[in-house]
Structure 1
Amino acid sequence: MNIQGKTALVTGASRGIGRAIAFELAQQGAKRLLLLARDAVRLAEVAREIEALGVEVVILALDLTQSVEVNIGLARAWRDYGPIHLLINCAGVAHQASFLQSQLSQVYQEINVNLIGMYTVTRCIARRMAAQREGRIVNVSSLMGKVAAPTMATYSATKFAILGFTQSLRGELAAYNIRVIALLPSLTDTDMVQEFQRFQWVVPITPKKVAQVLVAGLHEESSEILVGWQSHLAVWCNRIAPRLLERILLMATPMSIDRQKHYL
Structure 2
Amino acid sequence: MNIQGKVALITGASRGIGRAIALELAQQGIKRLILVARNRKRLAEVATEIEAMGVEAITLAIDLTQPTEVNIAVAQLWRSYAPIHILVNCAGVASQKSFLQSKLPQLQEELSVNLLGMYTLTSLIARRMVARGEGTIVNVSSLMGKVAAPTMATYSATKFAILGFTQALRKELATHNIQVVALLPTLTDTDMVRDFNLFRWVKPISPQRVAQALITGLQRDSPEILVGWQSHLAIWCQRLAPWLLDIILHMATPPPHKGYDLPTNPTTLTG
Please say if residues 151 and 255 of structure 1, whose CA atoms lie closer than 8 Å, have aligned partners that are also in contact: no
Q: Take 2:263 and 2:215, find their aligned partners in 1: how far apart are those partners?
A: 45
Following TM superposition, where does structure 1 have runs of at least 4 consecutive aligned residues deviating by more than 6 angstroms? 257-261
1:148 maps to which residue? 148
Q: What TM-score, normalized to structure 2?
A: 0.95
Q: CA deviation at 1:243?
A: 2.0
1:55 maps to which residue? 55
Q: Take 2:210 and 2:152, find their aligned partners in 1: how far apart are those partners?
A: 21
Gaps (5+ residues) in structure 1?
A: none
Q: Which amino acid aligns with 1:219?
A: Q
Q: Take 1:96 and 1:184, find their aligned partners in 2: how far apart are those partners?
A: 19
Q: CA deviation at 1:103?
A: 1.9
2:268 maps to which residue? none
Secondary structure of 2:150's aligned partner = coil
1:237-248 correspondence runs (5 A): 237-248=237-248
Structure 1 or 2, whichever has the larger Rg, is 2
1:107 maps to which residue? 107
Change (3 A) 1:182 1:176: same
Q: CA deviation at 1:71?
A: 1.2
Q: CA deviation at 1:250?
A: 1.4
Q: Take 1:252 and 1:196, find their aligned partners in 2: how far apart are those partners?
A: 14
Change (3 A) 1:258 1:239: farther
Please say if residues 87 and 138 of structure 2, whose CA atoms lie closer than 8 Å, have aligned partners that are also in contact: yes
Q: CA deviation at 1:242?
A: 1.2
1:67-86 correspondence runs (5 A): 67-86=67-86
2:16 maps to which residue? 16
Q: Take 2:257 and 2:195, find their aligned partners in 1: how far apart are those partners?
A: 20
1:249 maps to which residue? 249
Secondary structure of 2:88's aligned partner = strand
Q: What TM-score, normalized to structure 1?
A: 0.98
Gaps (5+ residues) in structure 2?
A: 265-271
CA RMSD of aligned residues (A): 1.3
Q: Take 2:214 and 2:243, find their aligned partners in 1: how far apart are those partners?
A: 30
Change (3 A) 1:20 1:258: closer
Please say if residues 100 and 260 of structure 1, whose CA atoms lie closer than 8 Å, have aligned partners that are also in contact: no
Q: Take 1:50 and 1:99, find their aligned partners in 2: how far apart are those partners?
A: 40
The number of residues matched between the two structures is 264
1:45 maps to which residue? 45
Q: Take 2:70 and 2:166, find their aligned partners in 1: how far apart are those partners?
A: 20
Secondary structure of 1:58's aligned partner = strand
2:206 maps to which residue? 206
Q: Take 2:182 and 2:34, find their aligned partners in 1: how far apart are those partners?
A: 20
2:160 maps to which residue? 160
1:90 maps to which residue? 90
Q: Take 1:263 and 1:34, find their aligned partners in 2: how far apart are those partners?
A: 48
